[in-house]
Amino acid sequence: MNEMKRENIESTKYDIPPELQGQVEITTIDKIYNWGRRSSIWPLMFGLACCAIEMICTAASRYDFARFGMEVMRPSPRQADLMIVAGTVTKKMIPTIVRLYNQMPEPKYVVAMGACASGGGPFKEGYNVVSGVDRYVPVDVYIAGCPPTPQALIHGLITLQRKIDAQSIKKVRWYRKEPIEAVPIPVLGPDVVDPHQYAIIHEQAKKLHEEAVNQAAETAPAETA
Amino acid sequence: MDEQTAVPFIDVTREVDLAARFPEAVIVDVRKEYEGYIVNRDRLIEVATAIRDELGYDYLSSVTGVDYLPDGVMEVVYHVYKMTGGPGLVFKTQTPRDEAVVPSLVPVYPGADLQEREAWDLLGIRFEGHPDLRRILMWEGFAGYPLRKDWQEAYFEEEGKPFKNRWPDGQVYRIEDKNPYENNVQYPADFIPEEYEPENDALLYDSLKRSIRGRDPELETDVVMVNMGPQHPSTHGVFRIAVALEGEKIVALKPVMGYLHRNHEKIGERNTFLQNMPYTDRLDYLSSLSNNFGYALAVEKLMNVRPPERAEYLRVIMAELTRISNHIFAIGTFLNDLGAYFTPALYAIKERELILDIFEATTGSRMMCNYFRFGGVTRDLPEGIAEKIHRLVYDRLPQKVDELDLYLTNNEIVRSRTEGVGVLTAEQAIAYSAAGPVLRASGVPYDIRRADPYSIYDRFEFDVAVRYHGDTYDRYLIRIDEMRQSLRILQQAIKDLPEGSIQEGKPQYQVRVPAGEAYGRVEGPKGELGYYVISNGKPNPWRYHVRAPSFINLTGYETMCVGNKVADVVAILGSIDIVLGETDR
Ligand code: SF4
How buried is residue B207: exposed, middle or buried, by Cβ count under 10 Å (0-12/13-18/19+)? Answer: middle
A76: chain B residues, CB-CB within 8 Å: none
Residue A196, phi then psi, degrees to nearest 5: -70, -20
Number of Cβ within a 10 Å radius of residue A221: 8
Residue A143 has what pLDDT?
92
Partners of residue B79 on adjacent β-strands: B62, B90
Using the beta-carbon criterion (under 8 Å), do B184 and A120 form an inter-chain contact? Answer: yes
Residues A44 and B256: their CA atoms lie apart, in Å, by 22
Residue B518, phi then psi, degrees to nearest 5: -150, 145
Residues B173 and B314: their CA atoms lie apart, in Å, by 41
Using the beta-carbon criterion (under 8 Å), do A208 and B138 form an inter-chain contact? Answer: no
Residues A136 and A201: their CA atoms lie apart, in Å, by 17
Answer whether residue B241 is part of any domain.
Answer: no
Residue A98 has what pLDDT?
92
Report the CATH number at residue B332.
Answer: 1.10.645.10
Residue B12 has what pLDDT?
47
Residue A64 pLDDT greater than 80, yes or no: yes
Q: Using CB atoms, which residue from B137, B191, B263 is nearest to A190?
A: B191
Residue A44 has what pLDDT?
87
SS3 B295: helix
**Average pLDDT for chain B:** 86
The residue segments making up the domain with residue B440 are 264-584
Residue A9 has what pLDDT?
55
Residue A6 has what pLDDT?
57
A137 closest CA partner among A200, A180, A79: A180
Residues B128 and B106: their CA atoms lie apart, in Å, by 10
SS (H, E, C) chain A: CHHHCHHHHCCCCCCCCHHHCCCCCCCCHHHHHHHHHHCCCCEECCECCHHHHHHHHHHCCCCCHHHHCCCCCECCHHHCCEEEEECCCECCCHHHHHHHHHHCCCCCEEEEEHHHHHHCHHHCCCCCECCCHHHCCCCCEEECCCCCCHHHHHHHHHHHHHHHHCCCCCCCHHHCCCCCCCCCCCEECCCEECHHHHHHHHHHHHHHHHHHHHHHHHHHHHHHC
B162 closest CA partner among B265, B273, B266, B68: B273
B260 closest CA partner among A171, A50, A197: A50
* Pick from A19-23, B32-36, B345-349, B492-496: least confident: A19-23
Using the beta-carbon criterion (under 8 Å), do B368 and A147 form an inter-chain contact? Answer: yes
Strands B126-128 and B101-103: parallel
Residue B385 pLDDT greater than 50, yes or no: yes
B265: chain A residues, CB-CB within 8 Å: none
Using the beta-carbon criterion (under 8 Å), do A190 and B285 form an inter-chain contact? Answer: no
Question: Per DSSP, which regions of B133-185 are E strands?
Answer: none
Answer whether residue B67 is part of any domain.
Answer: yes
B146: chain A residues, CB-CB within 8 Å: 127
Residue A174 has what pLDDT?
84
A212: chain B residues, CB-CB within 8 Å: 189
Residue B482 has what pLDDT?
92
Residue A75 has what pLDDT?
84
Tell me which chain B residue has its CA closest to the CA of residue A71: B342
Residue B191, phi then psi, degrees to nearest 5: -85, 125
How buried is residue B179: exposed, middle or buried, by Cβ count under 10 Å (0-12/13-18/19+)? Answer: middle
The pLDDT tens digits for B60-94 are 999 999 998 888 889 999 999 988 888 888 888 98
Contact B417, B338 (CB under 8 A): yes
Contact B402, B410 (CB under 8 A): no
Q: Considering only residues 18 to 47 of chain A, which have any Cβ-Cβ distance to chain B shorter than 8 Å?
A: 45-47
Closest atom of ligand 1 to A54 CA is 3
Summarize the confidence of residues A11-34 as an average pLDDT.
75
Ligand 1 binding pocket includes A144 (Cβ within 6 Å): no
Q: Structural domain tally of chain B?
A: 2
Mutate to test the interface with B, among A42, A46, A50, A61 (most CBs of B within 10 A): A50
* Pick from A135-144, A182-191, B353-362: least confident: A182-191
Closest atom of ligand 1 to A146 CA is 2
Summarize the confidence of residues B162-173 as an average pLDDT.
77
Band (pLDDT 50/70/90 cuts) for residue B6 is very low
B185 alpha carbon – ligand 1 mean position (Å): 21
Residue A130 distance to chain B (closest CA, Å)? 7
| pLDDT over 90, % of chain B | 19
Residue A120 pLDDT greater than 90, yes or no: no
Contact B362, B379 (CB under 8 A): yes
The class level of CATH for A40-175 reads: alpha beta
Choice between B104 and A16, residue whose per-residue pLDDT is larger: B104
| pLDDT over 70, % of chain B | 97
Contact B159, B152 (CB under 8 A): no
Residues B452 and B435: their CA atoms lie apart, in Å, by 14
Contact B580, B241 (CB under 8 A): no
Using the beta-carbon criterion (under 8 Å), do B185 and A88 form an inter-chain contact? Answer: no
Closest atom of ligand 1 to A147 CA is 3
Residue A13 pLDDT greater than 70, yes or no: no
Each domain of chain A, given as residue ranges in start order, spans 40-175, 194-224
B192: chain A residues, CB-CB within 8 Å: 202, 205
Residue B16 has what pLDDT?
65
Using the beta-carbon criterion (under 8 Å), do A147 and B238 form an inter-chain contact? Answer: no
Using the beta-carbon criterion (under 8 Å), do A49 and B349 form an inter-chain contact? Answer: no
The pLDDT tens digits for A209-224 are 888 888 877 766 555 4
B278: chain A residues, CB-CB within 8 Å: 122
Residues B124 and B269 in one domain: no
The pLDDT tens digits for A189-213 are 888 888 888 888 888 888 888 888 8
Ligand 1 binding pocket includes A133 (Cβ within 6 Å): no
Residue B26 has what pLDDT?
83
Using the beta-carbon criterion (under 8 Å), do B180 and A200 form an inter-chain contact? Answer: yes
Contact B422, B428 (CB under 8 A): no
Residue B537 pLDDT greater than 60, yes or no: yes
Mutate to test the interface with A, among B135, B174, B227, B259 (most CBs of A within 10 A): B259
Residue A13 distance to chain B (closest CA, Å)? 47
Using the beta-carbon criterion (under 8 Å), do B233 and A75 form an inter-chain contact? Answer: yes
B249 closest CA partner among B573, B564, B558, B561: B564
Q: Please report, as a single letter, which amino acid is at residue B421.
A: V
Compute, in degrees rounded to 10, the torsion defined by CA atoms A160, A164, A167, A168: 170
B98 closest CA partner among B135, B63, B117, B124: B124
Last residue of a domain, one of B103, B128, B153: B128
Single pTM value for the model: 0.88
Q: What ipTM did this prediction achieve?
A: 0.86
How many Cα atoms within 13 Å fall on the side-chain side of residue B408?
Answer: 29
Closest atom of ligand 1 to B285 CA is 8
Nearest CA to ligand 1 atom 8: A50
Ligand 1 binding pocket includes A53 (Cβ within 6 Å): no
Residue B232 distance to chain A (closest CA, Å)? 7
Contact A129, B263 (CB under 8 A): yes
Answer whether residue B547 is part of any domain.
Answer: yes
Band (pLDDT 50/70/90 cuts) for residue B197 is confident
A208: chain B residues, CB-CB within 8 Å: 189
Band (pLDDT 50/70/90 cuts) for residue B323 is very high
Residue B302 pLDDT greater than 70, yes or no: yes
Residues B61 and B41: their CA atoms lie apart, in Å, by 19
